[in-house]
Amino acid sequence: MNFKTLHGTLLTLGLAMATPLGIASFHARAEDNPTPLAAEAAAESAEIQFARYLTESDVEMFGTFWCPHSQHQRERFGEEAFQLVEYIECDPRGENARPRRCEEEGIRGYPTWKINSQLYPGDRSLEELAELSGYEGSRNFAPTEP
């Protein structure tokens, strides 16, 4: 056997021996760490998880940019979570306004939530919205002042 053949044989044996260890090591690390989606969900606040649920459940909030009660409702969620809520601006001067939609729904006060085709006027706690919408996820919401 010449040097080139010997070197190729040793290299092949080395790779064959290293490969099972590499695979075992990979599997151990994959099992120790949660899936990326599970880790991402665990890192999300209860407000963000709840806002996602509301959107997926076709829940809508009708409000106006100038209404202090609508503003307080936004604050209950927090800026990041509220961006996920389906918000309908009722004042024609507001950003992305849809006043016709508000008229069609019969919105009389702000904010008004539409949950399962039922209208719920007024600023509501996240806990109350969770009850009304049937939310079963984490309710570890950050406290907010009334």
pLDDT tens per residue across span 65-120: 999 999 999 999 999 999 999 999 999 999 999 999 999 999 999 999 999 999 99
Q: What is the pTM of this model?
A: 0.69
DSSP letter at 106 equals T
Q: Is the peptide bond before 111 cis (omega within 30 degrees of 0)?
A: yes
CA distance 141 to 146: 14
pLDDT of residue 5: 46
112 contact partners, CB below 8 Å, separation of at least 6: 61, 62, 63, 105, 119, 120, 121, 122
Per-residue pLDDT tens over the stretch 52-80: 999 999 999 999 999 999 999 999 999 99
Would you place residue 143 in the very low, low, confident or very high pLDDT band (cuts 50, 70, 90)?
confident
Q: Name the class of domain 43-133.
A: alpha beta
> Rounded to whole angstroms, how far apart are CA atoms 29 and 59?
40
pLDDT band at 146 (very low <50, low <70, confident <90, very high): low
